[in-house]
Amino acid sequence: MKNKMIFKVKELSNTLMLDLSDNECEAIINELDNSIKLLSSIPNLSSVEENFHYFDDLKIPNTMESLRKDEICILDNVDKIKKNMKDLKNGLVKV
Amino acid sequence: MSEILKISSVIKQDLKKVSLNKEETINLIKKNKKFNAYTSIVDNYTFFNKESCSPLFGIPYAVKDNINVEGTITTGGSLFLKNYISPYSAHLIKLLDKVGAIPVVKTNMDEFGLGGDGIYSAYGDVINPFDNTRITGGSSSGSAVLVAKKLIPFSIATDTGDSIRRPASLLGIFGFKPTYGLISRYGVFPYAPSLDHVGILANNIYDIALVSDVIVSHDEKDFTSQKIDSLKFIDTLSNFKDEDFKKYKICVIQNILDFASKKVQNEFLKLLKDNDIKFNLENLELDIIKLIPLAYKIISYSEAVSCYQNLTGITFGEKSNKKNYQEKIKDIRSKNLGFELKKRFIFGAYCTSEENYESIFLKSEAIRNKIVGQAKKIFLKYDFIIMPGSSSIAPLIKDVKAKKATTNLCDDYLQIANFGGFPSITIPALKIDKNFVGINICGKINSDNLLLAFANSFFKKYSEDI
């Protein structure tokens, strides 16, 4: 299990493009190992109170409404966006 | 209305005592550079409303350095953004601009908020002004120090686990985290969006209420912003009478309190009993509360790695001279991000990888659901949960760095308020061996105005003399 974890952490450090020393790698693996052991020691909770959601009581407006407003904003600015896209293609942003 | 003006005028006088004007405040802060509490001074801020008649008009304030203030350098406590100039202001800053409050300083913080001790900033440790061998708590460490030293009347900060309330407890000030979605996070660097809150640090609750009346407001640009009627913080505070205090039902969670140091437990219970404060002891399911720190870690680290994939050094932030695109990113990320951040990113990516998503991440979400469910059951019987603001006095820096001192369940209890979005405030209350330990009061969703009024009454009655 731990070997698999070592392999995975090294793979992730490459994916996330983060250089790590051996000591740093070991510290991460130890913390992960301890955490996952603790998590595995408890029964599966995925079915517990499945209909309940922790933010049920909040009065957050329907996000679709906000999305539609953003969409309208984009439509209102089509010409500006087209110009920006053209500028981008012309190398305004240099990498 | 006249009552509000009367209070406001008192507050303004109180605020003036702390900081007479912008220039004096800036000079005072600069003279106290030794605490390493700030990353930059904002000297030429021109966006505030010069015509406002708000009691906050002309009042200088501090901003945690993960909140965008147009034209200022916003580092997030990271080398990665050491030259990043905010192109726009966060919504809440614009609200404060409208009433004429002036941001004068950006405060030091644990890198991007990922750290709870005040020792994970790329710009060095923030110094505890009362004992420099001890931590300040974090991640809003610089904000808390400036307020605690009375160099600034209030600071706007963020709280994902306990980042406002823990330093408030350890430095003897007030730290308020409102209900989730009451203060817009538009323009605020995220850490873990399902847990992130913007809040306020100050030296009294009136100041917190005054600022809350301005910045608690619906914002269409923030998808998680709540739309509710005004909570009228100052009105509620001024209408709350001494005798109202006894109307509310209070609970202490025994099996979380058990994890605090003996001194904290004794002093906390002594304060409640000596003052004849009526409370009941309740217990949460022990197997579940032991999982609070683990669920917090997995959920917050998983969200953080997702949020910070944009730190590539290509579009913004520091840049690398390497030729190859991938080398550029690896070089800039490896050189400019601290180990605590790298650790949390890899941890989070591990928990959300395809093979672990269900067994680790979703299981942690189920634990969170269960913890919040238990807290909500308590709020069916009680109005407030009162607990120590931290399990001990501020730990020694050397112990934290050697991993000899870690937070325990009593500290991690504060994360329940982030899990469920409950409003929560830490107030000064105890002094143990000359060190501060606050008391935390947690309330029901969207009862923030009542929470502040109750907490103010508690402080005036029982702990003002510390």
> pLDDT tens digits, residue range A70-80?
666 666 677 77
B302 pLDDT above the threshold of 80: yes
Distance of CA B231 to the CA centre of its chain: 20
Residue A22 CA neighbour count, 13 Å, CB half: 0
3-state SS class at B136: coil
B15 pLDDT above the threshold of 60: no
Search chain A and give the residue with CA nearest B319.
Answer: A95
Of B220, B305, B329, the CB nearest to A69: B220
Q: Report chain B's terminal Cα–Cα distance, integer Å.
A: 33
B386 DSSP β-pair partners: B441
Of A36, A58, A63, the CB nearest to B180: A58
Across the interface, do B343 and A18 touch by the CB < 8 Å criterion?
no
Search chain B and give the residue with CA nearest A44.
Answer: B363
Select which of B19, B54, B143, B163 is catalytic: B163
If 0-12 CB within 10 Å is exposed, 13-18 middle and 19+ buried, where does residue B228 land? middle
Please give, rounded to a whole number of angstroms, the shortest distance from the CA of B244 to a CA of chain A.
Answer: 26
If 0-12 CB within 10 Å is exposed, 13-18 middle and 19+ buried, where does residue B97 land? buried
Backbone phi, psi, residue A46, to 5°:
-60, -25
* B463 in active site: no
The per-residue pLDDT for A35 is 93
Across the interface, do B370 and A93 touch by the CB < 8 Å criterion?
no
Mean pLDDT of B359-386: 94
Across the interface, do B369 and A54 touch by the CB < 8 Å criterion?
yes
Place of tokens 């015509």: B51
Of B350, B366, B421, the CB nearest to A8: B350
B4 pLDDT above the threshold of 50: no
Cα–Cα distance measured from residue B163 to residue B444, given in angstroms and rounded to the nearest whole number: 20
* B2 in active site: no
pLDDT in tens, chain A (95 residues): 778 888 999 999 999 999 999 999 999 999 999 999 999 888 766 544 555 678 888 998 876 555 556 666 666 677 777 777 676 666 555 44
Of B226, B314, B367, the CB nearest to A58: B226
B10 pLDDT above the threshold of 60: no
Question: In chain B, what residues touch A13 (CB-CB under 8 Å)?
Answer: 342, 346
Least-confidence region, from B10-14, B32-36, B301-305, B354-358: B10-14
Please give, rounded to a whole number of angstroms, the shortest distance from the CA of A45 to a CA of chain B.
Answer: 6
Search chain B and give the residue with CA nearest A26.
Answer: B343
Helix (H) / strand (E) containing B365: helix B363-381
pLDDT range class, residue B405, cuts 50, 70, 90: confident
Of B227, B294, B337, the CB nearest to A35: B294
The per-residue pLDDT for A51 is 58
Q: Looking at B70-127, which runs of residues are DSSP E strands?
A: 102-107
Distance of CA B163 to the CA centre of its chain: 4
Return the higher-pLDDT residue of B11 and B186.
Answer: B186
The per-residue pLDDT for B7 is 42
DSSP H stretches of helix in B70-220: 91-98, 141-148, 165-171, 205-215
How many cross-chain Cβ pairs, A to B, lie less than 8 Å apart? Answer: 120
C-alpha to C-alpha distances, B346 to A12, A22, A28, B300, nearest whole angstrom: 6, 14, 8, 12
CA-wise closest residue to B170 among B226, B118, B206, B244: B118
C-alpha to C-alpha distances, B402 to A33, B338, B347, B397, B398, nearest whole angstrom: 20, 17, 21, 9, 6
Across the interface, do A54 and B358 touch by the CB < 8 Å criterion?
no
B44 pLDDT above the threshold of 90: no
pLDDT range class, residue B337, cuts 50, 70, 90: very high
Cα–Cα distance measured from residue B460 to residue B441, given in angstroms and rounded to the nearest whole number: 14
Across the interface, do A39 and B360 touch by the CB < 8 Å criterion?
yes
B133 pLDDT above the threshold of 80: yes
**pLDDT tens, residue by residue, B374-393:** 999 999 999 999 999 999 99
B5 pLDDT above the threshold of 50: no
Mean pLDDT of B165-181: 98
Mean pLDDT of B50-56: 90
- Record the pTM: 0.91
**pLDDT tens, residue by residue, B195-240:** 999 999 999 999 999 999 999 999 999 999 999 999 999 999 999 9
In angstroms and rounded to an integer, the radius of gyration of the C-alpha atoms of chain A is: 24
**pLDDT tens, residue by residue, B406-452:** 777 778 899 999 999 999 999 999 999 999 999 999 999 999 999 99
* B424 in active site: no
pLDDT range class, residue B19, cuts 50, 70, 90: very low
The per-residue pLDDT for B126 is 98
Select which of B89, B121, B139, B225 is catalytic: B139
pLDDT range class, residue B464, cuts 50, 70, 90: confident
Distance of CA A58 to the CA centre of its chain: 23
The per-residue pLDDT for A68 is 59
Helix (H) / strand (E) containing B246: none
The per-residue pLDDT for B1 is 32
Question: In chain A, what residues touch B179 (CB-CB under 8 Å)?
Answer: 58
Of A20, A63, A95, the CB nearest to B314: A95
Across the interface, do B179 and A58 touch by the CB < 8 Å criterion?
yes
Question: In chain B, what residues touch A92 (CB-CB under 8 Å)?
Answer: none
Residue B175 CA neighbour count, 13 Å, CB half: 38
Across the interface, do A95 and B325 touch by the CB < 8 Å criterion?
yes
Least-confidence region, from B82-96, B111-125, B403-417, B443-457: B403-417
Mean pLDDT of B55-70: 96
B138 pLDDT above the threshold of 70: yes
B268 pLDDT above the threshold of 70: yes
Search chain B and give the residue with CA nearest A63.
Answer: B223
Q: Suggest the residue from A14, A40, A47, A55 to mutate for an interface test with chain B (most B CBs closer than 10 A).
A: A55
Instruction: Kindly give the pairing relationship between strand B60-64 and strand B384-388.
Output: unpaired
B17 pLDDT above the threshold of 60: no
